[in-house]
Structure 1
């Protein structure tokens, strides 16, 4: 099997990671393209002594690190208010902390794998994850709309949201109910399943909501491949069912981290 064939199944999830790390579909995809270009230009340098997925993410990490992005934005003109706010928040949290959190909580890597990917010790990974969670939880509070038709999952999501210190504005089980709730009480974040109770679509519900106002959205689905098709638009934040509480926690924190409407906690 060629290297390309080995890497292909992992590319959608690398795009997910890149987008969550940067808070932008465009920027995340840019780093993924640079990663693939580096592999094509020098295939002999691709790590062959590890699993292809690990090698792919390791190459991405090298590209991310070598870019030396000025995350404080000093001396640069921000392209918009959202970018300026994102840069300000990025300046208050160590990049390695965010990477360690996303690699373990969202991408499902072990502590050992994450240590290899960001080139630190396993003990440091644990410390970095703790630091990231503590910092992000202090920064963000929001009102959250949950679009989920399975009662047990909806209850679990409500508990996670409230444990993080956020408020639940409502739980919708259909497209129409979701839109009505969003218009009645505008949320600062939406958690949305794809398939809803009356066979309506959570994707359509989100499109309806976004046509009225901007709000960060996290899709939670058992079928991530339906959203990670390589076509536009694709979500910036995506969680796969069945999920771990830590995965939802990391995604919520990261989505709010980049949202210009988020109010830092006092």
Structure 2
């Protein structure tokens, strides 16, 4: 099996991590593209002594680290010509601190502390310390009002419990597109958790589009088929949770979505 064939199944999940890391589909996917280009240009430098998924993430982390540390810029050229202060603020807002990287690698991507340590060049004990630091920071995070769009009662109850345990308030639980839009208009949320397939065969994606046409709000999508929304070929979610989910995954995703939402608010 070729290296490309070995890496292909892992690309959707690397996109998920990259988007959560940068808070943007565009920037996350551009880092993934840069990592793939590096592998194509120098296949002999790809780590062959570890699992292909681990090697893929290691290559990505090297690109992420070199760009942010050395250049403090994205891997692709571009920009809209805003003033230097605004550009600097935007770049800083996209740099996820090391503790949050450790949390995302373990809670969202499912790496062991040992593997996460390999990816960010430290040991398992340090990963545990970094994760604890990230969780402590999350405890101090500004509380949000959350709208849950989910038609499965047990899953909705589980999400509601997780959200409340994090100290956030649940504004409502909607089971259809129309209900979700109505609830969002009646009580504007600070975060939306949205299932893809809803009770009346309507789409959570369409519900979110309707809500976003009214106001801007961070959104986390929940789906049993994440690879369908992580192709990198069209506008897709920045934050995505896979069913069945772990509480730690939901916690990390909520914290990261709110982290970038707060970071983009002008000082």
Same fold (TM over 0.5): yes
The runs of 5 or more residues in structure 1 that have no matched partner are none
Aligned length: 254
**What's the CA shift string for 1:122-179, capped at 9, x where partnerless?**
0111110010111133122110000001111111101110111111000000111000
Matches within 5 A, 1:238-249: 238-249=240-251
**What's the CA shift string for 1:80-133, capped at 9, x where partnerless?**
98x37836xx5xxx7221110000000111111111111111011111001011
Q: Aligned match of 1:134 in 136, 156, 159?
A: 136
Does the 8 Å contact 1:227/1:235 carry over to 2?
A: yes
Q: Distance in 1 between matches of 2:213 and 2:262?
A: 18
Q: Distance in 1 between matches of 2:231 and 2:37?
A: 20
Q: Distance in 2 between matches of 1:124 and 1:142?
A: 30
Q: Distance in 2 between matches of 1:136 and 1:249?
A: 9
Q: Distance in 1 between matches of 2:72 and 2:252?
A: 23
Q: Distance in 1 between matches of 2:163 and 2:219?
A: 14
SS in 1 for 2:140: helix
Counterpart for residue 13 of structure 1: 13
Counterpart for residue 116 of structure 2: 114
SS in 2 for 1:153: helix
Counterpart for residue 196 of structure 2: 194
Does the 8 Å contact 1:7/1:53 carry over to 2?
A: yes
Q: Distance in 2 between matches of 1:80 and 1:103?
A: 26
The runs of 5 or more residues in structure 2 that have no matched partner are 74-82
Counterpart for residue 157 of structure 2: 155
RMSD of aligned residue pairs (Cα, Å): 2.1
Q: Which moved more, 1:171-180 or 1:218-227?
A: 218-227
TM-score under structure 1 normalisation?
0.90
Q: Could you tell me how far 1:261 is from its partner in structure 2? A: 8.5
SS in 2 for 1:220: strand
Matches within 5 A, 1:58-69: 58-67=58-67, 68=69
Does the 8 Å contact 1:48/1:55 carry over to 2?
A: yes
Does the 8 Å contact 1:142/1:166 carry over to 2?
A: yes
Q: Could you tell me how far 1:30 is from its partner in structure 2? A: 1.5
Counterpart for residue 47 of structure 1: 47
SS in 1 for 2:200: coil
